[in-house]
Amino acid sequence: MTRLFGTNGIRGVIGPEMNADLAVKVGRAIGTFVSGGAVALARDPRLSGPMLARAAASGLMSAGCDVIDLGLVPTPCAQYFVAKSGQVKGAIVVTASHNPREFNGLKAIDSRGMEMRREDEEAIESIFFESRFHVAPWSEVGSIRADDAAIHRYTEGVLSKVDGDAIRKRAPSVVVDPGNGAGCVMTPYLLRSLGCRVLSLNAQPDGAFPGRLPEPTPDHLGDLIRVVREVHADIGIAHDGDADRATFVDDQGAFVVGDKSLALLARSAVKSRGGTVVTPVSTSTVVEDVVRAAGGTVVRTRVGSPIVARTMFETGAVFGGEENGGAIFPEHQFCRDGAMSAAKMLELLAHEGQALSALVAALPLYHIKKSNVSVPVERREAVLASIVELAKGRKVDTTDGVKILEKDGAVLVRPSGTEPIFRVYAEARTPARADALADEGVALVKKALGGR
């Protein structure tokens, strides 16, 4: 059967692959799957958002669901709404997260506010592809109402989980760049509530994304970096399009790579509460080093935030996340939360009493080398099996792809979930060793492909 949901919901370019017809049918399928009841609806500011959201709402109502329209809010706000309501069956979030302007998507959230499990997605896919939609009779067609207060309750929720007094005492100077995304309606106000001196960039929601592209990578954050340097701010904070991720710029104007901000947040969680941190196999060893030193343990999972969140839920972890700026704070909710990450990073700076650049500089240093090898999708499984065979006798981790562990570094080789490539990710304590391990990973894939 063809898949509808990818690794992060249903995504596509507006047009033949992502349109009103699809959104109606997804709404109908999800409405049928949850068999009536209340379902929340939210969207990011993409220009196609109102079209898709209204279509999805129609589909939900036709299957007998009552729609609660939260409007333009961050994805984690919709998840928080569902998790705290206790009676809402789930949510549809209309967002393409970090993807470029022409994309949009539909994300399905379960009744606990978590990204839907693959089994549930499969059940929805089978309803969708077999057109087994429930059609509510005239008297049971669903209703729709707006709830404009969700964003305030979400803000209160974040504020209640951080040491606001410590942050207020320090009154840090913060430059925030929500990138014209959904974070505009949340983070600048949250920071002000926390007593920060706030300067904002690209802080009006605009689906044309006039300021920068939605992915908060260093090459898109030139303006943020320049302003942080110019005004001598303590920190710069950027979100992706739906604000479930946060990335940071330090007080020197240097972009903080996701592995390092994750390591700092993980250490802070373990220091205060002990316990387990969950992160995918693709995250740098720096997380392990700092968590172990603080007396905690690390559990590695397959790549993808839903599996990280579920593993945290099952293991009772104190923190988890990915190297792309997605961090999960279980005392708040079991999903990535960009505003919460921002607030926790400010709390950490206040508690440590050091500049972000100093905290980053004190972390163990790893050199990372990434590479890609083209592999046709139909050969993916065979190539992976052959790599496992070729790596026999070495210390390997096959949680996701193949990770070969050496004393002085590691190389992970894994098929991309979205592109016809294998990603090679090497890290070591010296640049030369990282290069050598990456070369070895590329050679392995090529050998498995039968090239040379």
Contacting positions for Mg ion (CB under 5 A):
97, 240, 242, 244
DSSP string, 381-446: HHHHHHHHHHTTTS-EE-SSSEEEEETTEEEEEEE-SSSSEEEEEEEESSHHHHHHHHHHHHHHHH
Side-chain half-sphere of 200: how many Cα atoms within 13 Å? Answer: 20
Q: Which is nearer to Mg ion, 199 or 335 (CB)?
A: 335
Q: How far is the CB of 308 from Mg ion (least distance, A)?
A: 14
Distance in Å, CB of 114 to Mg ion, minimum: 15
Beta bridge partners of 124: none
Secondary structure percentages of the chain, helix, strand, coil, to 5: 40, 25, 35
| Closest residue to Mg ion using C-beta atoms | 97
Shortest separation between residue 241's beta carbon and Mg ion, angstroms: 6
**Which C-beta is closer to Mg ion: that of 178 or that of 195?**
178
Tell me how far, at minimum, the Cβ of 150 lies from Mg ion, in Å: 18
CB of 242 to Mg ion, least distance (A): 4
Written as one letter, the residue type at 110 is D
Q: Minimal distance in Å, beta carbon 159 to Mg ion?
A: 22
Cα–Cα distance, 263 to 284 (Å, whole number)? 9
Q: Which of residues 345 and 434 has its CB atom nearest to Mg ion in the complex? A: 345
Helix 20-34 to helix 49-62 angle (10° resolution) is 40
The residue (of 244 and 347) whose beta carbon lies closer to Mg ion is: 244
Residue 407 amino acid letter:
K
DSSP lists the bridge partners of residue 280 as 301
Q: What are the C-alpha distances in Å from 345 to residues 178, 237, 339?
A: 16, 10, 10
Q: Which is nearer to Mg ion, 243 or 312 (CB)?
A: 243
Cα(258)–Cα(281) distance, integer angstroms: 14
Number of helices (H), then strands (E), in the chain: 15, 20
Of residues 242 and 400, the one with the C-beta less far from Mg ion: 242
- Helix or strand or coil: residue 66? strand
- Residues assigned a catalytic role: 97
Residues in a beta bridge with 235: 174
Please tell me the distance from the alpha carbon of residue 320 to that of residue 336, in angstroms, as a whole number. 9
Give least dist CB 306 to Mg ion, A.
Answer: 12
End-to-end CA distance of the chain: 34
